[in-house]
């Protein structure tokens, strides 16, 4: 008995840990809570998937660049997708005809207002306008030199094609591809969670 007490004293933390083990009923309820939360999360993701279908239909949405926060001097409109060689000056009063937009670039296309005073360097505008990435062919930066005789190694595109592109899935099956994908996967996950819940409930009933 004394030995047992000493042993318990020695391993009291371990014993406490055993005591901390929740009883099965509490554990079952906890598991059910977690399962319900995860099912709600899956449902939420399905809904968000439905809401995202319009965005996903644009094949280049995933790699679309964000519209920069920085603003340039007032007066001139320059499309954000346009690359202009550095050092070029805008003729005074020149306006590039682009629709003003306050939308996401992926929704509205590459259009943006940049105001410039006559005589301002367009390089300034370019510095706040990142190079476009919605391209299928590799872009060459202004001023870059390529040797005519040597065929340059073709770099990989920054957008995917075929099965690699989410836009193709979203546009497939009558433009319901992403909805179906999200729905099927969501239901599969809910079934997996349900299988776990059923096991736990059976355990609860048998004991």
Partner 1 sequence: MKANVIVFEAAILIFFLFFYHGSSRAMGKSRNRAFFTGALLYSLAIQTVAVLGGVMNFYWYQQNNYYKHYPLGGYIIWLGLVPLAAGLLFYMVAAMTQMLSTVMIPKAGVWARSALAGAIAVGFYLLIEPIAITNHWWTWNLKSFYIIDIPLVALFGVFAAVFLFNAVYTLTVLEARDQKNLKKFEDRTAKKLLKTNHHPGNLNWRQLQWLFLYRLLMSLVVFAAFMTPVIVIFWAVANRGQIPPNW
Q: Nearer to partner 1 by C-beta: 148 or 205? A: 205
Q: Which residue has the tokens 């005074």?
A: 92
Q: Nearer to partner 1 by C-beta: 25 or 117? A: 25
H/E stretch holding 33 reads helix 24-51
Structural tokens at position 102: 């306050």
Q: Nearer to partner 1 by C-beta: 33 or 92? A: 33
Q: Tell me how far CA of residue 106 lies from CA of 43, 55, 67, 109, 182, in angstroms.
A: 26, 7, 10, 6, 21
Shortest distance, CB of residue 94 to partner 1, whole angstroms? 23
CA distance 59 to 196: 38
Shortest distance, CB of residue 75 to partner 1, whole angstroms? 19
Structural tokens at position 60: 């280049």
Shortest distance, CB of residue 173 to partner 1, whole angstroms? 13
Q: Which residue has the tokens 């836009």?
A: 167
Q: Nearer to partner 1 by C-beta: 44 or 73? A: 44
Asked if residues 94 and 127 have their Cβ atoms less than 8 Å apart, the reply is no
Shortest distance, CB of residue 92 to partner 1, whole angstroms? 26
114 φ/ψ sector (left φ>0, alpha ψ -120 to 50, else beta)? beta
Q: Nearer to partner 1 by C-beta: 7 or 91? A: 7
Q: Nearer to partner 1 by C-beta: 93 or 100? A: 100
Shortest distance, CB of residue 155 to partner 1, whole angstroms? 6
DSSP 8-state code for residue 17:
H
Shortest distance, CB of residue 197 to partner 1, whole angstroms? 8
174 φ/ψ sector (left φ>0, alpha ψ -120 to 50, else beta)? left
């Amino acid at each position: 008995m004394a030995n047992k007490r000493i042993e318990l004293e020695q391993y009291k933390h371990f014993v406490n840990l055993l005591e901390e083990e929740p009883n099965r009923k509490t554990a079952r309820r906890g598991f059910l809570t977690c399962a319900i939360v995860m099912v709600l999360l899956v449902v939420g993701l399905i809904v968000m998937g439905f809401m995202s279908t319009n965005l996903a239909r644009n094949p280049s949405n995933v790699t679309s660049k964000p519209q920069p926060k920085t603003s340039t001097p007032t007066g001139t409109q320059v499309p954000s997708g346009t690359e202009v060689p550095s050092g070029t000056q805008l003729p005074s009063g020149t306006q590039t005809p682009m629709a003003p937009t306050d939308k996401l670039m992926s929704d509205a296309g590459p259009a943006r207002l940049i105001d410039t005073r006559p005589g301002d360097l367009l390089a300034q505008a370019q510095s706040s306008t990142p190079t476009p990435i919605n391209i299928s062919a590799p872009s060459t930066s202004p001023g870059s030199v390529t040797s005519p005789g040597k065929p340059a190694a073709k770099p990989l595109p920054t957008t995917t094609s075929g099965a690699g592109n989410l836009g193709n899935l979203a546009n497939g099956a009558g433009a319901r591809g992403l909805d179906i994908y999200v729905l099927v996967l969501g239901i599969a996950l809910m079934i997996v969670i349900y299988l776990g819940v059923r096991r736990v409930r059976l355990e609860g009933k048998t004991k």
